[in-house]
A = this chain, B = another copy of it.
Amino acid sequence: MQTRLDIPTQGPGLYDITGAVAQQVAGEGLCTVFVRHTSCSLLVQENADPDVPRDLLAWLDRLVPPADHPAMAYLRHTAEGPDDMPAHIKAALLPVSLQIPFSGGRLGLGTWQGIFLVEHRTRPHMRQVIVHIRRDT
């Protein structure tokens, strides 16, 4: 009922995990996705135009600039690099877990919704995601 996905990431971006989550699902119930990190996120977001994730990341970078940006001079948690504390802040704003009902073996996502892992760090990482499936009986 629980599966772990290992998602490799190469820098900031939205990594589509819709298929990997969908294939855990059968029958009717509730799917929970949980990411085991504090510098990346999960997100349900538009799945069609690649400009949407690009614009979203550009906006997030303006909202939370790197720690070496003058506007962020008040940050103290800087020893792990200029992308680290901003990654924690972004991880506070975007979800650490998602819950999606399913029925007839299909996730209840809308037409334009995909499930993404959002990487906030610059360097490559291997990210662990738990998919918990609870079938209604």
Contacts and interface: CB of A to CB of B under 8 A. Distances in A.
Interface stretch (A5-13, A17-25, A49-57): A49-57
Given A2-B28, A58-B74, A97 B96 contact: no
Contacts of A54: 76-77
A128 B100 contact: no
Nearest to A108: B130
Nearest to A109: B36
What number of copies of this chain does the assembly contain? 3
A113 B38 contact: yes
Main secondary structure of the interface of A (DSSP, over half): mixed
Given A2-B103, A93-B93, A45 B55 contact: no
Contacts of A109: 36
B92 A56 contact: yes
A2 B101 contact: yes
A38 B99 contact: no
Most buried by B among A2, A58, A92, A93: A92
A136 B51 CA distance: 40
A17 to B, nearest CB: 15
Contacts of A30: 32, 132, 134
B77 A36 contact: no
Interface in A82-134: 85, 88-89, 91-101, 103, 108-110, 112-113, 128, 130, 132, 134
